[in-house]
Every structure is written in structure tokens, then in C-alpha cells.
Structure 1
């Protein structure tokens, strides 16, 4: 259906693809993986024709419709979210637009003399709209938007009033409603809450076209894809199976490569030793010559490429008292909407609470109350005297000074620290060498998240309050964060839509639902087993 034949592509001095080949066949669901900057987005853009390969070709079967979702959604305003989604549905959206114009014309008194022609045209367009399934289309558009957690009010309101994250969901809904022959989804799991993620999982499982997607959510990828294409070092390598299978296969392949390389190195050393020892002896001249020729012909094995992976190094935090945070009879609302009414919660040392709840249930509000970023309307929030808190919020990323470099930002926060310790801190969070001279304004979401974490963890807190800490992190960085937090000795309270993160780190669950607040003694895995749902109101 879509084929890459010996594709080469260079970006400036950087070689992204070197005679790389791969294929996306009908009905296949493929996960595209590779380190940041390896060329995943470039590959999508070559399929859509936005970029051309320097060599080789990207072959696409005739009449294949392609839907491409990426993080750059462009401008949206002046229409409702439903209209915006329906606009992406191919020919029917053009007919729908004409129908809306004709309806407006029929209501316009200035065009009364044209009314017969308008009504006649309206009849023709209406019949065509019906024939294309237009009347079911609005229902389907609303169904997709509801799956992505839109309320009726948001569906009918001006799309221009939505935040960037919600506009992204509108752009995603357009592609899903279109149901093209091939869907290219670049990070569709970004900006989605856990309920929308689970809905999208079900939708994509039932989608019969070909799917090629990237995602930083391993659980989401594992449940959908049956094949992985890896971009690394200019080549495309295919693995049959899900992401977990790919990880195991890649580790095995690396091990075999390492053993092969070491065996060859030992053999070469032995041969060179023989040549060195006997090259001056006439009696061994022919043997030396034949060995030299043999060595010249040997195809040398390369050592396996080691990926640069960030390692988070948490210095041990000072011990806190047993009661880390206590909420008593807390009331909190916004306008006429009550979020908490008489809420009690005690967080004790070494507990790791994950907070579950649908959008608007009050997850971030709870974290803000405990972090002191907002006050309760009534009741008390008490944080233990020996508690040193580290609070990670999405808002903290917006507070970085765009004109400062990474290093200047660290210096501003820790004026007493030595240059060496700040460089070491930057290195732990993946900023090595000249990276520390990058201005904060040019950083990607993932880089900003890492910088905020570095600042938060320099003087280690014993209580971490984390609001969606993995939102912008790639798979490798996320895995390192999980490993580091797994070894962390302190207390945690966090919100996350990443089920791998939830399962690996929680030992308590706080569930916020319309019919009350529930506390569970085990972690997320036990919560799923005991409730039969992966998120409030959703059955697994």
C-alpha cells in the first residue's frame, strides 16, 4: 500500500535515511519508534508529499486516501467543534458547506427574487447530502468528540475559544471521522486523559485501514500495534509484534552483535599478533602474507550502537515525619461548582498516591491545595513540619524565562552552587556539552519538562507532588524516570494518564467520582483488578 524503496534523506548535514526500505500493508497497525530527531516526522511528511526523498522513492498505491494527524494543528476559529470535525470528512463536507449557505440564503429577505432557484438547488444539494450519508455524519462526529471527552457545550461552542490541547483533539477527531485507507498519527496520545486514551484504543482496534503511529505511551502502543518499524542510524528495521516484544528482540540483537564483535576482535588480535611476531622471518613469509590478505578481505563487524539514555540520579532526601499532609473538612469550589465538600485525607510517609478522576473532577485542584498554590474555601490543609515539597505542574514550564539559557536558568535558581555541580545536574537530565547553552524559548516540551524536574530535584524533596510529569517525555526518558522514582525513598502524590507509570509507582489510589471519593489500599494494578475498570466509569 505504501512502500519505502531505498530512501535516502538528509537534513542539513544530518543523514536521516540511507537507502532505507520498509512497507505499510493493508490492515497493518504499525508503531514507529526511534530516538528523538531520528526522522519519524520526516517519514510521515514524505508519505504525505510535504517533503521529497533525496534518493529512492516513496511509492503509494493509486486512490489510497491518507489522513495525517500531527502536533501542528494550525488556526481554528469561527466554527463549532462539530462543524470543524465534519469539514475534514472529504466530499460530504463540501456539500454540507453549500447546504449551510443555501439555508442562509433562504432566510435572507434581500434574495427573495432568487428564491425559486435557491429552493430548487437546495433540493438537489440536500439529496446529494443524504446520498453521501451526511445526516448520519453529524451524529458520528458527535460520537467521536464525546469519545475524546467533549461536552455538548464544547461541541457546539466556537472552536477558537478552546485551549491548544483541546484543538488538538478536534484535529484528531477530523482524521478519525474521515476513516481514510491509511492513518498516520504522530503522537495521538499527547494531551489525552486516560478516559479518552482508552476510548481511542478501542476505536483504533476496530479501524480496518492501515495505521502508522508514534506514541510515547507504551501501554497504548502495546494494545494497538502488531508490528514495529524502528528508525535508527539511517535505517528502517521491522519487528513483528508489539512494543514489549520489540524491546526484547532489540536487546537480544544487541547482545548477539556484541558477542559477534568481541569474537571477531579476539580473532583479529590473535592474527595480528602472529603477523607481528613472524613478519621478519623468511621461513614464515608465505603464512604471514596469506594472513594479511585474509584480514584485508574480512568484513568487519560493528559494535552495537549504544543509545544515549538519560539517567536520573536522585540524591537521598531527608526523612520527613509520619504525617506528610492532612486535609480536614476541606471545601473547595469554582463559582457555583463544588469540587470538594467536607473532604478528609491523610497522606503518610512513603505512601504513593495516584489520583484518578474524569476531567474536571478536581485532580489538579487537590495537588494545588496541598502545594499551597490555591486555598480551600473552608477546612484546613496541613503539611508536616519536616516536609520538603517538590511540586511539578504544567504551569511551572510556562514560567521558564525564554531569554535565559538552560545553564543560566539553573544558576538563577541555585546561585550558591558551583559550575561543576550544575553541569553535572544538567547532564543527569540529558543536557550535555553545548546543550546547556540553548535558550529556554527553543526547548521542546520534553526538554522543558526535564529542566523543570532538574530544578525541582537539585535539593531533593521528601514529598513529590507531580501533575502529569510524563506528558512530554519520550519512551526512554519516561522509563528512566520510572526507574529513578521506583528507588525514591520519599512520599508521592501524582496525577498521570500513563498506565505504565501508574502501575509501576502507586501503592494507594484516590478515586474522585460524581458519587463520592473512594480510597483504595493497593496501587493502580490492584485498583484495576478490584474495580474491573482502568479509570473511573470505564470498564476494562
Structure 2
């Protein structure tokens, strides 16, 4: 009898229009009291796997068997989670609401909540329902450091089978004791947290590459030796045949020349047989090499051609003022005089609900640059807008679409599979928006939570590209390590005793 809380057996799945399935022959078990990290590039099928595991999607082949309630907590925060109002008014929910700071009025004002608040509501509601299998898709997206610490404690106390998709390496290290690695249709289960699993993956890939290279060289040597022997044998045979042929044309009363020619013909056949055997050995070596799975790694690292500092001294100048927070206008965000110069790199920080998105919207409406010189990547893009963006890019001229797809590739996604899809993943949408803006040569890049939904290699590529990019930037993020590498100024939103928020101009994070 299996002790697995969830069993996936021989799973195969593909979306309509795809040339190859996302999964084939996938079999894996998920035990209770264990968190399994799902790791792979954007578009590799991480979200699809969670949805199959929890019954939201049906596989084309195979089965998913769950021993108990299976819940999926989505990346997107567009709509309230199912049973949210039941959770809010349930007598046994008060402790969980308190731990994750959930307000009783949140169902009525869902559309005014920050995405971080919505994410906490999603997770709290799922925990309250006490699922046997809990599949979390990017649970730390949008949430501030305080909420993240609270969330980790809740996750550590979960006793069911946990399945975690996250770009948050610290979270994967802290929670997971094994990782399922998805790569080009293959799934490999490795023990350990993400750091240990990636280290083992690197060792295995390097070993496979070394074995493949050694067999390639061995096959080449065998073929070269076979060719050398064949040529030498043919040269010797041709010279000897010529000599015997002269004797035959003169006189061969006792047939010695004819017998010698026959012997020579036999030696020629033997030499060719040896050469053929060596070619056969080379073919067997190449067959052995073909059986070794060598992971193809595409070149990564993006560059931002055409980006430049704006000729204007300032891209934005705002007088001191205040903005309403929420619909009732009882709370306000207060800010001093603000300016963004052509070479400024600004980090905007603050807790969930402090007004970061409100301030960004106000800034965008007052910028003094052409629209095509702005790269804007919002915190979230709806599923409908994501589909529309992909269809728009498919209609671009071939050369421009090619440049966009080259950038997508160098951010770690597969352009062909992306163009085949009807619904790009949230991570792929962020890459599309960034790539679309990059080809226009921006003066200003504004990104709200730039590392959300992005896979780990893509985050590293993005860090390097932004660090070297010659234009102004305004980056909103809870990822302090990311901001330290790129920004030089900091605008921080701090809570006031009356519930308002005040924007403070602080030193850069690397100067603290």
C-alpha cells in the first residue's frame, strides 16, 4: 500500500496547437509532511503540473490520484479565492486571519487591496480548508518581508503533501526536502533543497557532457583510422596489381603471377574487412553516445540595444502633494517634491498596502517622455491582456518579432513553444513586455515587482542587463538583493500613526 498522498502515473499533456507535449510518461509520488519544489524555466510546465495534480486540468494520458482534498493556489490574484467569504466569517478562522493579517472587510474591497494582501488572502483561505494536498504557485509574489516571515511559519506547520513553485530560492531552500526538475519535457526528481538539487544537476550534466565528448572523440578516431587503413591498403594493392599485371602480359608459363594476383586480391579484401570492422566499432560508439542525455543549454544574458539617457535633464518633476489611498479617501499618501533625472536609478520600497502602485500610477501620468521610450512592466497582467499581448507580437514584422524572440530566448524561454501557446505564463508575459520595450531603445524602465513570476536564471540575466543599461529606472520590489545591485537612490513609503503613508528619501540600499 503506497504511503503517497498524491500519485501521478504516466502523465502526458499538451495544449492545443503544440508540436510536442509538455509532459510524457511522467510518474511521481508526493508524500505527506513533505514539501516538493517544482523547478524549471518559464514555460516548462510548472503551473500546468500543479493544475494536473489538483484536478484543475485533466491529462491526455495517465492519471492523478489524490488521497483527500487537493487545492491549487494560483499565481494570479485577479479574483477572490473560492470560499473566501466563508473563511472570513468562520468561527475557527480567527487565529489564521490574525497570523496572516487578514481584514474582515477584504471581500467587499478586493479590487482595492494590494496584490500582496490578495496573496495572503489566497493562502489563508486555502489553509483554512485543510487540504491533504496543497499546491502553491509563487506564494511569496508581492508580499513584504514581514508577511513573508509569517507565511513561512504557516507553511512549515503544514502536515499534508506540499507542492511549491517559486522563484524564491531562500523559500525553496528553507521548505523543500526534494525537487522535481522540469527541463525540455523531462522531469527528474532529486533529493534535497534547491541548492542541493541544482548542484547535483550540474554534476550530472557535466558528467554526461564529458562522457558524450569522450565518445565523440573515440568515434572520430576510429573512423579516421578506418579511412587511413583503407587508403593505405588501396595504394599498396594498386601498386602490387600493376607489378603482377606486367608479369602476366610478358609471360606466366607456370601461373605464379596469376596465383600472386589472387593472393593479393585476398589481402585487399582482408584489409577492407578490417577497415569495415573499425567503421562498425565507430558506429557502435556513436550509438552509445546517442543514448546519453545531454541537456542543451541555450545562450543566456540579454543586452539592451539602443537604450540611452534622455537628452532632457528631467523625465519627471512633481511638486509636493498627497494622493488618496483606497476609495473612501480617509487615508492618504504624502510625498515631497519628486524628480527623476535621465540617469537616476530609484528603488521604491514599502509594506503591502502602503501605496506603491498608487504612486507609480501617478508618476506614469506625469512623465515627460515619448511613450515609445518607456518600458513599463506592471505588477500583474490579466489573463485576457496576456493573450492579447502575445497575439499582437505575433503580428509584428518578421525582423522586429525576431529581435523580440531572441531576447525571450536569452531570458531562458523557448520562443517556438511560446508562439504555439494560447496563454503565456505570467513569467513569459513579463519577458514579452520587457523584450517589446527593449527593442525600442528606452529612456526609462519602470518595473513593479520585476522578479515576480520569473525563473531563477532569468532573474540573473535581468540583473546583469539592468546593471549595464544606460537609461533611467524606477524599480518597485521587495527583493532587496535585486535592488542593491541595480539602484542608487531609494524612495521608501513609511506608515504614519493615523494610517496615512509618508514617502521618505533615503540612502541607497547598499549604503545602509
Q: Same fold (TM over 0.5)?
A: yes
Deviations 1:413-434 (A, max 9, x none): xxxxxx5245323432349877
Could you tell me whether the CA contact under 8 Å between 1:5 and 1:22 is conserved in 2? yes
Distance in 2 between residues matched to 1:425 and 1:309, nearest whole Å: 15
SS at match of 2:470: coil
Matched, 1:150 2:105: no
What is aligned with 2:302?
312
Tell whether 2:383 aligns with 1:402. Answer: no
The residue that corresponds to 1:54 in the other structure is: 61
For residue 154 of structure 1, give the secondary structure of its aligned residue in structure 2.
coil
Shift of 1:276: 2.6
Q: 1:495 Cα deviation (Å)?
A: 0.8
Equivalent in the alignment of 1:214? 165
> How do residues 168-317 of structure 1 correspond to structure 2 at under 5 angstroms?
169-190=120-141, 192-279=143-230, 281-284=268-271, 287-288=274-275, 290-292=277-279, 294-295=281-282, 297-298=284-285, 299-301=288-290, 302=292, 304-308=294-298, 311-317=301-307
- Is residue 2:445 matched to residue 1:458? no
| Bigger Rg, structure 1 or 2 | 2
* Residue 100 of structure 1: aligned partner: none
Question: CA deviation digits over 1:330-349, x for unaligned, max 9?
Answer: 33335634534461345556
Does residue 1:481 correspond to 2:462, yes or no?
yes
CA gap 1:239/1:42 in 2 versus in 1, 3 angstroms: same
Residue 294 of structure 1 deviates from its aligned partner by 4.0
1:347-366 matches, within 5 Å, as 347=340, 350-366=343-359
Q: Deviations over 1:449-496 (max 9, x none)?
A: 333323433332233222233444344433322221122133322112
1:259-279 per-residue CA deviation (whole Å, 9 max, x = no partner) reads 221111000000112223335
Q: What is the rounded CA distance, in whole Å, between the counterparts of 1:73 and 1:323 in structure 2? A: 35
- Over 3 Å counting, the alpha-carbon distance change for 1:488 and 1:59 in structure 2 is same
Compared with structure 1, are the counterparts of its residues 17 and 496 closer, same or farther at alpha carbon in structure 2 (3 Å cutoff)?
Answer: same
CA contact under 8 A between 2:318 and 2:338: conserved in structure 1? yes
TM-score w.r.t. the length of structure 2 is 0.72
1:7–1:17 Cα contact (<8 Å) kept:
no
| Matched positions, count | 453
The equivalent residue for 1:425 is 404
Q: What is the CA–CA distance in structure 2 between the aligned matches of 1:78 and 1:183, rounded to whole Å? A: 15
Gaps of at least 5 residues in structure 1 are: 87-95, 97-134, 375-381, 412-418, 528-540
Out of 502, 508, 512, the position equivalent to 1:522 is: 508
SS in 1 for 2:219: helix
Asked whether the 8 Å contact 2:93–2:128 carries over to 1, the reply is no
CA distance in 2, matches of 1:242, 1:77: 29
* TM-score using structure 1 length: 0.68
Match of residue 32 from structure 1: 38
Aligned mates of 2:351, 2:477 — CA distance in 1: 12
| Paired residue secondary structure (2:289) | coil
- Counterpart Cα distance in 1 of 2:489 and 2:418: 38
Report the alpha carbon displacement of residue 512 of structure 1 after superposing the two structures with TM: 1.0
By how many angstroms is 1:32 displaced?
0.7
CA contact (8 A) 2:87 2:128 kept: no
